[in-house]
Amino acid sequence: MKNKLLLIMLGFGSIVLAQNVNTKDGGTIYNSQNYVLDKANLNDSFYIDKEYKNANIKNYSGTRGYRYNAFTDDFEYLDGKKYYNLEKQDGLELNFLNGQIYKYTSYYDDNGELKKGYLQVLTDINGNNILYKSVKVSKTELGNTNSYNNMDSVKFRTLINYYIGTGNKIEQVSKSNKDLNKIAKAAKLNISKEKDLIKLVDILNK
């Protein structure tokens, strides 16, 4: 019984320790031991940008290269020759060295359904109103297939949505939102265009 308990404790300890990894500069970066899809099943169509770009995780020191898998809604990284997913936690924030920010959070879609996922932050993250962007890739089967890479049998589609966060609530931008449309019309903005939505949020924050 004691040996069994010891094994359980050791196993738990290894899981906990796996959350932090030491970097060469002595800092720690956020880590996860969740394997990504086998390399053979990774498809270029899953990514808007296949390149790994350096980022740090809020409240952790050190940087690592990540890329966003828009099909699985995961940030992937390489450790040696193995592929890993960044473990998802509410409020997890990736700050890329190129200025892009992604946050794992809860939000409401156009049907009022509560969902969770990674959203890109497009405006001041400390603003009263924040504009977010979601880019997802979906797969449609055109025939019988057992492989993600069978392009003759699979069609991929990219879906982009925008959300505005106010306080603790993030809601999808809807063309049927009368208040937003009224403000957009007065400012001669089109809520279907990203650059105009950024201007619209700037107006809301004034």
What are residue 199's phi and psi, to 5 degrees? -65, -35
Domain with 11, as residue range(s), is 2-173
Q: What is the pLDDT of residue 196?
A: 97
Domain count, the chain: 1
**What pLDDT, on a 0 to 100 scale, did the predictor assign at position 141?**
77
The answer to whether residue 44 is domain-embedded is yes
Whether 23 has a pLDDT exceeding 60, the answer reads yes
Residue 56 or 35, more confident:
56
CA 12 vs. chain centroid, Å, equals 27
Amino acid 173: pLDDT = 96
> If you average pLDDT over residues 3-24, what whole number do you get?
47
Contact by Cβ (8 Å): 54, 64? yes
Do residues 96 and 55 make contact, with C-beta atoms less than 8 angstroms apart? yes
Please name which of 191, 189, 160 lies closest in space to residue 175, comparing C-alpha atoms. 191
- Answer yes or no: is 15 within a domain: yes
Let me know if residue 98 belongs to a domain.
yes
**Token digits for 19?**
């959350």
CB atoms within 10 A of CB 187: 12
Could you tell me the two tokens for 75?
Answer: 């940030």
Mean pLDDT to the nearest integer, 169-181: 93
Quote the CA–CA distance of 15 and 159 in Å, as a whole number: 35
pLDDT tens digits along 74-90: 999 988 888 888 989 99
Q: For residues 102 and 202, what is the distance between their CA atoms, to the nearest angstrom?
A: 19
pLDDT at 176 over 50: yes
Q: Residue 181 falls within a domain, yes or no?
A: no
Question: What is the tens place of the pLDDT at every residue in 39-76?
Answer: 777 889 999 999 999 999 999 988 999 999 999 999 99
148-162 confidence digits (pLDDT tens): 555 567 889 999 999
What does the block give as tokens for 187?
Answer: 């400012």
Helix or strand holding residue 148 (H, E): none
Evaluate the CA torsion angle 122, 126, 129, 135 in order and state its sign: positive
Provide the token pair at 120.
């890109």
For 27, 63, 64, 69, 133, the CA distances from 23, given in Å and listed in that order, are 5, 8, 9, 24, 31
Whether residue 142 contacts residue 154, with contact meaning beta carbons closer than 8 Å, is answered with: yes
Q: Answer whether residue 167 is part of any domain.
A: yes
Q: How confident is residue 8, by pLDDT bands cut at 50, 70 and 90?
A: very low
When pLDDT is cut at 50, 70 and 90, the band that residue 7 belongs to is very low
pLDDT in tens, 92-151: 999 999 999 999 999 999 999 999 999 999 999 999 999 999 999 998 877 655 555 555
Parallel/antiparallel/unpaired status of strands 154-166 and 169-172: antiparallel
Residue 194 belongs to some domain of the structure: no
Asked if residue 201 belongs to a domain, the reply is: no
